[in-house]
Amino acid sequence: MASGIFAVLDDIAALMDDVAVTSKIATRKTAGILGDDLAVNAEKATGFLASRELPVLWAITKGSLINKLIIVPIALLLNAFFPAAIKVILVLGGFYLAYEGVEKIIEYFFHRPKTGQEVIKEKEQDNADAERAKIKSAVTTDFILSVEIVIIALGTVLDRSLTIQIVTVSVVALIATIGVYGIVALIVRMDDAGYQLIKRSQDRGLVSSFGHLLVRALPIIIKCLAVIGTIALLLVSGGIFVHNIDYLHHLFPSLPSIVKEFLIGLLAGLAVVVLLLPLKKLYSAFVRRNETS
């Protein structure tokens, strides 16, 4: 009986050793996409009232965990029974990310300043609805990025047993969620940390100076994250197309990969924007007609 228990423990220890090795490799392979994931989600998790930052971030984190719970078993099942579907899902997700990135660029360059009446109307809207819309957008983007992370992680353990595949992909998915949103939480609360340092040091000395630095740095970091997050969206989408479409993979071999992926992501996003423009106009006309009737 005792020998059987020790044998089971020995098997578990061996499994954990294998998982530790495969998780390390998978995490290293997904490091690039995790960096992009951080930039994108940090940008999406900012812009709220200070009192709502952590609740919103927690809502997005829960959504991210649910995404992983959905994606991991589906990815394992598709890989076992219908692997071709994974590539199709990735490409469709790439078009969504490219569209989001290009939409942000268009909004920045061609955004029409709001009139006074529009500003008043916007102020009168339910803040809870706007908050829910932004959370939904962040969770949707996280879903696409999570698919990419899970697929890359799964690709590193295809030659291993099903048990190791399941545990490794689950570990990487958990690290991705906790790591990314943990860092995002630190970023969005920088100003509060700085304020506490200033308060406790009675606004004197090096501690106070560091507190002031944190407070001043946050708006700059948020602006930088908006730019980095947009670039990351286009790079991730372009990377999806390049790695999953052979023609694009071999196109312009002398061009640096980062430039090629950015340009392909940009062109794909522009194509989606052009395709959706007539539909948006029809929807706007439909909404206006309903409002006037």
Has residue 278 been placed in a domain?
yes
Has residue 202 been placed in a domain?
yes
Has residue 50 been placed in a domain?
yes
> How far apart (Å, rounded) are the C-alpha atoms in residues 7 and 26?
28
| Tokens 């999953």 sit on residue | 244
Has residue 5 been placed in a domain?
no
Domains in the chain, number: 1
Per-residue pLDDT of the chain (293 residues; tens, 9 = 90+): 445 554 544 445 555 555 566 666 666 656 656 666 676 667 666 666 666 777 888 888 888 889 889 988 988 888 888 888 888 888 888 898 888 889 888 888 876 555 444 444 444 455 667 778 888 888 888 888 888 788 878 777 777 777 877 888 888 888 888 888 888 888 878 888 888 888 888 888 888 888 888 888 888 887 887 788 788 888 888 888 988 888 888 888 888 888 999 999 999 999 999 998 888 777 777 767 776 66
Has residue 113 been placed in a domain?
yes
Has residue 6 been placed in a domain?
no
Phi, psi of 125 (to 5 degrees): -65, 155
Of 230, 241, 229, the residue nearest 94 (C-alpha): 241
**Token pair of 156 as six digits:** 């590193």
Helix axes 50-81, 127-155, angle to 10 degrees: 40
The pTM is what? 0.71
| Residue ranges making up the domain that contains 33 | 16-292
Euclidean distance between the first and the last CA atom of the chain, given in angstroms as a whole number:
79
Has residue 9 been placed in a domain?
no
Which own/partner contact pairs does 214-218 have at CB distance under 8 Å and 24+ positions apart?
A: 214/190, 215/190, 215/191, 217/190, 218/187, 218/190, 218/191, 218/194
Helix axes 162-188, 31-44, angle to 10 degrees: 40
Residue 49, phi-psi category: left (phi > 0), alpha (psi -120 to 50), beta (remainder):
beta
Sign of CA dihedral 86, 101, 280, 60: positive
Give CA torsion, residues 34, 35, 38, 41, to 10 deg.
Answer: -80
Has residue 134 been placed in a domain?
yes
Residue 115, phi-psi category: left (phi > 0), alpha (psi -120 to 50), beta (remainder):
beta
